[in-house]
Chains A and B, each alone.
Chain A
Amino acid sequence: MTAMAADKGGAAPVAQGATPPEYLKNDEPLGTDPLHRSRNTPAGGIRHWLSVLAVAVLALALAGPRAQAQATGDLGLVVERATGSLLIVDQSERASLGRITGLGDLRHASIVYSPDERFAYVFGRDGGLSKVDILKQELVKRVMQAGNSIGGAISDDGRLVAVSNYEPGGVRVFDAGTLEMVADIPTGSKTVGLVDIPGSRFVFSLWDKGETWIADLSDLAAGPEITRIKGIGPNPYDALVTADGRTYITGLFGADHFTALDLWQDPPEPRTILPGYLAGREKLPVYKMPHLEGWALAGRDFVLPAFGRDEVLWVDARTLEETGRTPTYGQPVFAMARPDGRQVWVNFAHPKNDTIQVIDTPSKKVIRTLKPGPAVLHMEFTPRGHEVWVSVRDAGKVIVYDTETFEKLAEIPAKSPSGIFFTARAHRMGL
């Protein structure tokens, strides 16, 4: 029995029961097969099923885990950063199914998924781009595409995978099937905040130049078509795009505001939002750059982690005017709206990274403080938000919480876990 079936308690659904599944029946040749013609006679029927069963058993024996038709819709990957491995997890079982190794340096690694949720593309800090097969639990291909990279994205059609790099600064685009490079977009700057938007386009920002670029890769033969937007502000450190692919919000290291772009405008014009949110207040030392993620919409507002303050900031999603500030336990790293937006979960920078706070969206007040353990690095909601999975690096585990009762539901051992990525991300823009 395969590792996956064993870990699942032998729950492999195919070819173990008496009834062959529909898809095996559909594989039969149609019309001319004598078995088909004699199918209605009792002897023919038995022979038919025996042959189908034989095919099924043979297929299982030959193909290994893949033949078990494990659906991937409720699976996910947990980055084990120090060991260069990925833990395959099952959301419904709240368990791990296996481990994929050999992915190199996975610090700060992030993951996107193919549209069929079978393949994952893993972006490592060391410039490695890896493609893994979740069903076979194996590394398919790995290329070293740069010296130092920071994130990736997959195009809306699933054909292109883009990586943003610090060194050499820019974005490189790869064929999602082969990982051959199909476009190289040097920017002359450390490049951050890479997201996908409709139309085989990618958006990213330039730390050293204060620009945002839109690269249109819909015509690969003609090469990428670049729209450069200047005046974003000094030193963008990260950016997000909203789930509709319309609003791109950039965080700035060198100014106390954020910048928003309406990507439905042509060309988009930078708009300052939350101007002077630090005015008259001390900017605290920042020991970890906050992340801006596509989980920003909470009710009618976008929620953003402040830079250099122990608070999260709220802006009206339509007018982009400030609507509030919520003081928090420490400097937020992630401020993530639950998929329904009803709550916002926040984790914090060193040295307060043992804590999570939950903010109630309508009142904008902290309603819960949790202490999962040392070095809480990431949180991932189940697609409809009934649970949140939290990686606790220095405790060596992922903790699953119920988001309504805040009850701890499960703990899953993992080696220095950082990012958690469920396959449902395949169907969302900008993650």
Chain B
Amino acid sequence: MNRLLLILSALAAGPALADPDAAVLERLVRQDCGACHGMTLKGGLGPDIRARALGHYDRNSLKAVILDGIPGTPMPPWRPLLSESEAAWIADYLLKGDSP
């Protein structure tokens, strides 16, 4: 429900939303990105997205992939659901890679 509120407010407020909610976003990464990439992010139908597998991405290009997806693959654009700052938070989170 928090997530839904966040999404609704994100849609209403546009991409300039301040201070992403870390707990909500971490949950989104684990549960919703995890639907394809595995909840430990080591891969599933989608590839491994643990930090060591993302070495060829910098923050901005990873953020762009999150927001706009990869055409021709199952990676969807998350722009309808996430703000720029939220996507940046997720990119940092993945690249930092303190995930198990």
- Contact surface of A with B, Cβ cutoff 8 Å: 81-82, 105, 107-108, 125-126, 148, 150, 166-167, 190, 192, 207, 235, 237, 253, 285-289, 350-351, 354, 374-375, 393-394
Residues of A within 8 A of B81 (CB): 287, 351
Give the docked Cα–Cα distance between A286 and B69 (Å).
Answer: 11
Q: With an 8 A cutoff between CB atoms, is B32 at the interface?
A: yes
- Mostly, the A contact residues are loop
Residues of A within 8 A of B69 (CB): 285
User: What size tier do the contact residues of chain B reach?
Assistant: 20 to 34
Q: By the criterion CB–CB under 8 Å, are B43 and A148 in contact?
A: yes
Q: With an 8 A cutoff between CB atoms, is B39 at the interface?
A: yes
Give the docked Cα–Cα distance between A277 and B42 (Å).
Answer: 34
Q: By the criterion CB–CB under 8 Å, are A351 and B3 in contact?
A: yes
Which of B12-20, B55-63, B72-80 forms contacts with chain A? B72-80
Q: Which 6 A-B pairs have the closest CB atoms?
A: A285-B76, A107-B39, A350-B32, A288-B35, A351-B7, A374-B1
Q: Please pick, from A81, A105, A253, A394, the residue contacting B74 in the complex, using a CB distance under 8 A.
A: A253
Q: By the criterion CB–CB under 8 Å, are A125 and B44 in contact?
A: yes
Q: Please pick, from B38, B45, B74, B76, the residue contacting A107 in the complex, using a CB distance under 8 A.
A: B38
Residues of B within 8 A of A192 (CB): 45
Give the docked Cα–Cα distance between A394 and B31 (Å).
Answer: 10
Residues of B within 8 A of A289 (CB): 35-36, 45, 74
Residues of A within 8 A of B23 (CB): none
Which of B4, B36, B44, B80 counts the most A-chain CB atoms under 10 A from its CB? B44
- Mostly, the B contact residues are loop
User: Which B residue sits closest to A308, measured CB to CB?
Assistant: B76
6 contacts between A and B (CB under 8 A): A108-B44, A148-B44, A166-B44, A192-B45, A237-B74, A350-B31
Q: Please pick, from B7, B35, B40, B45, the residue contacting A190 in the complex, using a CB distance under 8 A.
A: B45
Q: By the criterion CB–CB under 8 Å, are A287 and B39 in contact?
A: no
Q: By the criterion CB–CB under 8 Å, are A354 and B45 in contact?
A: no
Given contacts A107-B39, A235-B74, 14 further A-B contacts (CB under 8 A): A107-B38, A108-B44, A126-B40, A148-B44, A166-B45, A190-B45, A285-B69, A285-B80, A286-B76, A287-B32, A287-B81, A288-B32, A351-B3, A374-B3
Contact of A148 with B80 at beta-carbon distance under 8 Å, contacts A107-B34, A286-B74, A287-B35 already known: no
In angstroms, how far is the closest chain B Cβ from the Cβ of A226?
A: 23
Residues of B within 8 A of A105 (CB): 39-40
Q: By the criterion CB–CB under 8 Å, are B32 and A148 in contact?
A: no
Residues of B within 8 A of A190 (CB): 45
Residues of A within 8 A of B32 (CB): 287-288, 350
In angstroms, how far is the closest chain A Cβ from the Cβ of B69?
A: 7
Residues of B within 8 A of A287 (CB): 32, 35, 76, 78, 81
Residues of A within 8 A of B38 (CB): 107, 125, 148
Residues of B within 8 A of A108 (CB): 35, 44
Residues of A within 8 A of B31 (CB): 350, 375, 393
Q: Please pick, from B34, B39, B77, the residue contacting A285 in the complex, using a CB distance under 8 A.
A: B77
